[in-house]
Structure 1
Amino acid sequence: MKRYDIHKIFEVDDDAVLTPEEISEMLGFHIESVRRWCRSGKLDCYSFGGKYVILGSEFKAFMERSRKKAM
């Protein structure tokens, strides 16, 4: 089982331009899941000719929104 360092995710520069492929590798999710998040608006991104790019700041905001709070 591959282990992911969650702290590295939050070290992504706010101005970094990420692809769905890079995000899928960082999170361990299938690339189509990341594309679905983009299409649905769950993950804010830019679309150029059917290709998605995500700013580092938007990726970190997505991760914060996805965080489960302790009850």
Structure 2
Amino acid sequence: MSNNIHDIFNLPDEEILHPEDIALMINMHVESVRRWCRQGKLPSYNFGNKYVIVGEDFKTFMKRSKVKARWER
């Protein structure tokens, strides 16, 4: 996957992702992704202290995180 953030939106909605996958895609530390899951910022499922994120939820999270220009706020 290239570093183009728009490639993220080509993920299938049904794709199952782990925090490690997301951390690699967006070049963030895996603990940051886990923290977003724990805080409920990134919708996820927790099975035995392992987080699973659905592609559709990740794409929605990314769209909500988009920074808006000052005049759009």
For residue 33 of structure 1, what is the amino acid of its counterpart? S
Q: How does 1:1-71 map to 2 (within 5 A)?
A: 4-70=3-69, 71=71
**RMSD of the alignment, in Å?**
1.0
Give me the TM-score of the superposition, normalised by structure 2.
Answer: 0.90
**Runs of 4+ that moved beyond 2 A:** none
Q: Which runs of 5+ in 1 are unaligned?
A: none
Q: What do residues 8-61 of structure 1 show as CA deviations (whole Å, max 9, x unaligned)?
A: 101011000000000000000000000000000000000000000000000000
Which protein shows a greater Rg? 2
Deviation at 1:4, TM superposition (A): 1.7
For residue 12 of structure 2, what is the amino acid of its counterpart? D
Q: Which runs of 5+ in 2 are unaligned?
A: none
Q: How many residues align?
A: 69
